[in-house]
Every structure is written in C-alpha cells, then in structure tokens.
C-alpha cells in the first residue's frame, strides 16, 4: 500500500500551520529528513520547536499542510496514530519515566503491553538496551533513585525498546546539570552514528555542530535559516540568526 522507499525523505514536512486557539504557533514550516540523517532545530523560547516535533508523532494535530512519515500522511483524520507512534520514538525534557516502575520495567512495559512481545525475549533486549546507555547495575532502581542524566538515559532506552525508525528529542538535556549533559549527549551521538534518524531540539550548539547533518533555526513559527553545521554556524546570513548565535555561543 505504502510506496515509500529509502531514497525518499523519511519525514517530509510541508507548509505546516498549527494554531492553539487564536495563537498561530507554526506559520508554514517545511523540511525533509532522509533516513539516517540527524536534524537539529534551534531557536528562541516560544518559537514553536516543541510544537513542531510533537506534530511529527501526532501529539499535536495540525491545521494545514502535510507531514509524511515513511509515506504515511499524519494530517489525516483516519490516521492510525498508534501505528505511527510505533515508528516514531520520543524523549522529553522532563524524562517522564513511570515512577512506580523500575528502570528495567520502564523499558519493558511498552513492548509487552503495546507490541505484545514475548516477555522473556523483551527482558533480554531490555538488559541489552540499559547496557547500551551505560546503566548496567541500575536495572532494578526506581526513577526516584536515579540522577537526572541516568533517568534520561532510561527514557532513551525505553523509546528504543519499541524499535522505532525515527527518534524525536525535545531539549532532552535542558533539565540536567552541566556535568550530566555530556553522558546523555554521548548516548545520542552513539545512536546517530549507528544510523538512527534523529530530530533534535537542542540548545547544545557544540553538540549540534558535531552530530547534525542539518541545522534549522526557527523564530516565531517560521524557519529563518538552515544549512549544514559548517555553513550555518560560520556563515549565517540572517540578522536574527546572527543575533541568536551571538547570544548563545
């Protein structure tokens, strides 16, 4: 049925408009993300970065435009949101781990309850994922017993357990201490190097420069400027981009 092939964009965002009531937050945003690409979205607070990536897994609906995820139209009343979300993982700024479950259970829950996978198999996978995010030995800790950086890595493992094709990261290091930011970024970088398609909202410019294939700068609901890190950071043309970069770098 779906005719998507890997030479087409994995996520194709076209002229997306999104309003909360009278407030238009996205005013015609377009971008394409190819398989294996890492995209960083930067911009001032309130410019609609979170709103945009939340539209990709249909946590927010859109009023106008089109978002194709592997050829599947997201702006469609008949959309099977659950099928979409099985393909698109998301990690939040506030971790949002399930506090009444251990790290291991957090990772295992969705595959068991949503994907109805075999428990023994998923348990093995969960141990491996926690090892991958360097949390060996923390399997039986509750979120309340883990540091922010550790919780965020559990959250990443939890998303990966669904075996998604695309990962969305919304300022996942913004709530962390400077020292623990790095341990999370290392994990994301490792994912990117393994070829995971990633859309990141971040304020970590050094990280963006290092891992991103494309940088998008948004302001007041539009994309002001975009480009590969080298040209974007060193040859920014738009005055708004320049001002933003001068403040943050």
Partner 1 sequence: MKSIPGINSKASTDFAVLKPPARNQVSHWHPNSTSFTRWLSELSILNCFLFILLAFVFSSLAFAQSNYTTTDAVDALFRWMPFLLKSGFFFNILISLLVMLIGTLTGIVLGLGQISIHGWLRKLCWAITQFFRNSPWLVLLFVVMLAFPFQIEIFGLTIPVPDWLKAVIGLSLPIMANVSEIVRGAVISVPSGQWEAAESLAYTRLQTLWQIILPQCFKRMIPPWMNWYAILTMATPLVSILGVEDVLKLARDATEAEGNHPELLMPFYTFVLVLFFIYCYPIAKLTQRLERKFSVKG
Ligand X SMILES: Nc1ncnc2c1ncn2[C@@H]1O[C@H](COP(=O)(O)OP(=O)(O)OP(=O)(O)O)[C@@H](O)[C@H]1O
Enumerate binding residues for Mg ion (CB under 5 A).
50
Rounded CA-CA distance 152/146 in Å is 9
When the beta carbons of 64 and 140 are compared against ligand X, the nearer one is 64
Which of 200, 195, 209, 199 has the alpha carbon at shortest distance from 36? Answer: 195
Binding to ligand X by residue 25, rule CB under 6 A?
Answer: yes
Helix (H) or strand (E) holding 132: helix 119-132
Neighbouring residues of 135: CB distance < 8 A, sequence distance ≥ 6: 103, 150, 153, 154, 157
Site for partner 1 in 177-236 (CB under 8 A): none
When the beta carbons of 8 and 93 are compared against ligand X, the nearer one is 93
Query: Taking the CA of residue 181 as centre, how many other CA atoms within 13 Å lie in the half-sphere pointing to its CB?
Result: 14
46 binds, among partner 1, Mg ion, ligand X, none (CB under 5 to 8 A by kind): ligand X
Min dist CB 41 to ligand X, Å, is 8
Letters for 109-128 (x = contact with partner 1 by CB under 8 A, - = none) are xx--xxx-------------
User: How many other β-carbons are positioned within 10 Å of the β-carbon of residue 203?
Assistant: 16
Site for ligand X in 27-86 (CB under 6 A): 43, 45-51
When the beta carbons of 34 and 59 are compared against partner 1, the nearer one is 59
Which of 79-86's residues contact partners 24+ apart within 8 Å by CB, and which partners? Answer: 82/114, 84/57, 84/58, 85/57, 85/58, 86/114, 86/115, 86/162, 86/164
Binding to partner 1 by residue 94, rule CB under 8 A?
Answer: yes
DSSP for residue 144:
G
114 binds, among ligand X, Mg ion, partner 1, none (CB under 5 to 8 A by kind): partner 1
Residues of the shown chain interacting with partner 1 in the complex, contacts defined by CB under 8 A = 57, 59, 81-83, 85-86, 88-90, 92, 94, 96-100, 109-110, 113-115, 144, 155, 158-159, 162
């Amino acid at each position: 049925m779906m005719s998507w092939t890997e030479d087409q964009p994995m996520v194709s965002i076209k002229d997306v408009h999104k309003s909360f009531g009278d407030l238009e937050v996205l005013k015609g945003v377009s971008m394409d993300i190819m398989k294996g690409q890492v995209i960083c979205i930067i911009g001032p607070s309130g410019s609609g970065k979170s709103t945009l990536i939340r539209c990709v897994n249909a946590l927010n609906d859109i009023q106008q435009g089109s978002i194709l995820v592997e050829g599947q139209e997201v702006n469609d009343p008949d959309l099977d949101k659950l099928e979409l979300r099985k393909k698109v993982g998301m990690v939040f700024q506030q971790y949002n781990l399930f506090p009444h479950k251990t790290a291991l259970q957090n990772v295992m829950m969705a595959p068991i309850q949503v994907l109805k996978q075999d428990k023994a198999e998923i348990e093995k996978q969960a141990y491996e994922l926690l090892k991958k995010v360097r949390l060996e030995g923390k399997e039986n800790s509750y979120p309340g017993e883990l540091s922010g950086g550790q919780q965020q890595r559990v959250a990443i493992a939890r998303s990966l357990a669904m075996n998604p094709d695309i990962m969305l990261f919304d300022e996942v290091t913004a709530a962390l201490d400077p020292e623990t930011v790095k341990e999370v970024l290392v994990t994301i970088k490792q994912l990117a190097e393994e070829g995971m398609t990633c859309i990141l909202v971040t304020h970590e410019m050094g990280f963006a420069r290092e891992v991103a294939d494309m940088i998008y700068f948004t302001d007041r609901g539009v994309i002001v400027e975009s480009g590969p890190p080298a040209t974007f950071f060193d040859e920014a043309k738009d005055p708004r981009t320049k001002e933003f970069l001068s403040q943050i770098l």
